[in-house]
Chain A
Amino acid sequence: MEIFVQQLINGLTLGSIYGLIAIGYTMVFGIIGMVNFAHGDVFMLSAFIALIFFLILTTWLGISSIALALLIVLVVAMALTSLWGWAIERIAYRPLRGSFRLAPLISAIGVSIFLSNFVQVAQGARNKPTPPMVGDVVVLFQGESGYNVALSYKQIIIMVSTAVLLTIFWYIVQKTSLGRAQRACEQDRKMAALLGINVDRTISLTFVIGAALAAVAGTMYLLYYGVVSFNDGFVPGVKAFTAAVLGGIGSLPGAVLGGLIIGLIETFWSAYFTIEYKDVAAFSILAIVLIFMPSGILGRPEVEKV
């Protein structure tokens, strides 16, 4: 029982990170119908940006309050990663709009290879450990066997900030004119353009929002694991895409739900079965869901027009 609760907490934390990345996939797929392969690497890049700014703030500027430092790091990482997201869309995807379907996919794979190797060349191939940031835990309750069920401050920060940011972005997509434009482009890009919506700008903003949320995920990942390396983008990226598909691609709550499910499955699989095969479990779920339930949990079934 204690182990179950502990794994539930860990799984939800991991799931929040996956959910944040999954939103980037799901929004881009919804609006231009492409799998943004480079999104996992944008996430990895944002973790590096967060790491560097954390070091600047703590060692050079001497900010001793970790909470303040984390807040600044989060904002800066979101801003700079958004710039990367914008630039990638502008350079690698926009010229290919209206081209044949495989071209953006290959371009995205190229961006993904470029980003991970760019970080490798610029920052070195070794794992980068961070100084310990938030170490405190809250003991929720103690089991009979003496096993403490603990909720660390890190996990609280991750879950709370995920919830807050999701609410903000949910509000943007549902209530603001940007969100309306985005949903209009999703339904019919040509018609939206005829009605005076700047489609290019809307798509750019979608990439910016996706990158900003990936930056939140990157900062949280760094905070949670305390280590990042240049090839950390691929596997979380694929898992987040799995989450987006599981929840129903194109649906924002679906992406978060899918992220939480994938996170829970991964942690419970590691705890009760074998840790070696946890990635196999995640990938198998991806395959099974796509084969038997291609529209996901909250997605709309695709209507095929002849």
Chain B
Amino acid sequence: MNAPPIASASTAQVAAPSRFDFGAALKDSFITALITLGLSIPILAYKTVQNGAELFLMSRWGLVAIMCAIIFGLRMLQHAFMATRAARQAMPDPHQATEAVHAEPSAYQKVSRFAIPFFLGIALAFPLLVYVVQGGLNESRYWVDLGILILTYVMLGWGLNIVVGLAGLLDLGYVAFYAVGAYSYALLSTTFGLSFWICLPLAGILAAFWGMILGFPVLRLRGDYLAIVTLAFGEIVRLVLINWTDLTNGGAGISSIPRATFFGLPFTAGEGGFASTFGLEFNGMHRMIFLYYLILALALLTNFVTMRLRRLPIGRAWEALREDEIACRSLGINTTNTKLTAFAIGAMFGGFAGSFFAVRQGFVSPESFNFLESAIILAIVVMGGMGSQIGVAIAALVLVGGPEMLRNLDFLKAVFGQGFDPNEYRLLIFGMGMVAMMVWRPRGLISEREPSVILKERKAISGSFVKEGHG
């Protein structure tokens, strides 16, 4: 993290020395280590420890020394790596593809032909696979739970992709619609006793309605301003949820939200429950597996609707709006309606996901809908490659599943001692990963787009030819 990358845009153009200059690398690494020392002097070297009402300082110079040594080593490695790469790049590769539009199916298309059915198959068979691998329903609880979590983010990513990826409207307050969906279900079911299957569409409609309300005033805004106003709306929704205690029960949240039923059959142990109706032995995991397939179906619905919308006039208008708003207007596209539908449809899927979140947790509180959630969802969309459906799914898997894997790294305890909890570092690594990802691939994982209109043959368009929109 602390090592500045060598190849900035200006130096990359200069013909790099093909030999590894050890002295210069040593000097540069030393300077980097010194900067690391400077950065870590206050924050890492001294820890403030509270004892009663007073604060004490505890020195940790050993940690700083280790940190500087690690940075020094990494920087040396980076120099060595860059030198070999520069030597390789001095000889041009004859097969290097330079054109942005490939007539040949690109690597991405070749992969996606197999990858999409493969991922879909894995997703469909996931509970069964886990059941076989873990050897029992109760043992597979953790994995099914993780699958539900990842699929929730896949769905949210696909929902936001409509707004950000297709229409090019940067929305930093998407979590507001997630919250509207969750609270709609929580309030409708606890006060009016409506079932999940009635509340799900209602939550979507309400979220879409709020999407229109929030979308209306921001129509004139563009770029970063739009991002900040949507962020402000997201925060306002959260603050209102915290402070309007009469309706939302404030920070304590709403608990004992009714569980989902299997089309009317509750997942209970007694007579008339899901297990006894189908002649199965009662197990709490039935509900989990049902929830897993529910969110999978919802996510696939989102994907399906998005794919179809791209081919409808409205979807084409979204993408045209992203490419050039002025051209759109001069061609007679109603930009107001186009933007509002993008906000409303994106928000609707957020509302569905929120309602699912409420039924899964059985509890909602404003703390689940903070800015970090919006940032994570946006990061999923951007890192997946804006507008690419499969990219968003992969990004959600990596960003949500990856940090979760940290929980299982027990061997780290052997290295760093018993008090070491890898989970503490989850968000730290997440933040570093976001920066590294942007530096490494600013266009996202899947940076190629498939056009929705084709003439004779399929071509992949490089992501650098896709605009990110002004609004």
Contacts and interface: CB of A to CB of B under 8 A. Distances in A.
A234 B371 contact: yes
B442 interface: yes
A291 B218 contact: yes
Contact of A55 (B57, B224, B240, B243): B57
Nearest to B250: A276
A90 B43 contact: no
A17 interface: no
Interface of B: 1-5, 7-10, 35, 38-39, 41-44, 46-50, 53-57, 170, 217-218, 220-221, 223-225, 227-229, 231-233, 235-236, 239-240, 242-243, 326, 371-372, 375, 378-379, 382-383, 386, 424-425, 427-428, 430-435, 437-439, 442-443, 464, 468
Contacts of A35: 224, 227-228
* Most chain B beta-carbon contacts within 10 A, residue among A45, A98, A128, A287: A287
A99 to B, nearest CB: 4
A147 to B, nearest CB: 28
A154 B417 CA distance: 44
Contacts of A114: 1, 428, 431-432, 434-435
Nearest to A50: B42
Given A101-B223, A284-B236, A290-B229, A49 B434 contact: no
A178 to B, nearest CB: 20
Top 5 closest pairs, chain A to chain B, by CB: A110-B434, A114-B431, A113-B431, A103-B442, A283-B232
A59 B51 CA distance: 14
Contact of A129 (B55, B428, B431): B55
Nearest to B435: A110
A23 to B, nearest CB: 17
B240 A111 contact: no
B123 to A, nearest CB: 26
B223 A90 contact: no
Contact of B435 (A111, A126, A291): A111
B160 to A, nearest CB: 13
Contacts of B242: 276
Interface string A87-131: 100111011111111111111011111110111111110101111
A109 B434 contact: yes
Contact residues of B: prevailing secondary structure = helix
Given A109-B378, A123-B43, A306-B326, A117 B427 contact: yes
Contacts of B218: 287, 291
A159 interface: no
A107 B438 contact: yes
Contact of A286 (B49, B232, B431, B443): B232
B48 A123 contact: yes
Contacts of B41: 80
A83 B235 contact: no
Contacts of A131: 54-55
A92 to B, nearest CB: 5
A99 B233 CA distance: 28
Contacts of A4: none
Contacts of A257: none
Contacts of A111: 431, 435
B221 A117 contact: no
A51 B48 contact: yes
9 contacts: A45-B43, A97-B9, A101-B223, A102-B382, A106-B438, A110-B379, A110-B437, A122-B43, A291-B218
A95 B2 contact: no
Contact of A49 (B43, B47, B239): B43
A207 interface: no
B55 A287 contact: no
A80 B38 contact: yes
Interface in A45-77: 45, 48-49, 51-53, 55-56, 59-60
Contacts of B229: 286-287, 290-291
B42 A291 contact: no
Given A110-B433, A110-B434, A121-B428, A59 B42 contact: no
B435 A128 contact: no
A111 B8 CA distance: 19
Given A114-B428, A123-B48, A291-B218, 12 more contacts: A52-B48, A80-B38, A95-B8, A102-B386, A109-B375, A110-B430, A110-B437, A113-B427, A117-B431, A200-B10, A238-B231, A290-B229
Contacts of B236: 280, 283-284, 287
Given A34-B224, A107-B434, A283-B235, A102 B468 contact: yes
A286 B234 CA distance: 13
A291 B431 contact: no
A84 interface: yes
Given A123-B47, A280-B239, A290-B229, A106 B8 contact: no
Contacts of A306: 326
* Most chain B beta-carbon contacts within 10 A, residue among A55, A100, A115: A100
Given A91-B435, A283-B232, A291-B217, A48 B378 contact: no
A286 B5 CA distance: 36
A231 B326 CA distance: 41
B169 to A, nearest CB: 12
Given A52-B57, A91-B435, A128-B48, A290 B221 contact: yes
A34 B55 CA distance: 38
Given A92-B439, A102-B386, A118-B428, A49 B57 contact: no
Contact of A95 (B5, B50, B57): B5
Given A100-B443, A106-B438, A114-B1, A287 B224 contact: no
Given A87-B2, A87-B4, A113-B430, A96 B442 contact: yes
B35 A277 contact: no
B432 A56 contact: no
Nearest to B441: A103
Nearest to A81: B42
A277 B243 contact: yes
B462 to A, nearest CB: 12
A245 interface: yes
Contacts of B438: 92, 96, 103-104, 106-107, 110
Contact of B50 (A97, A102, A121, A126): A126
Contacts of B47: 122-124
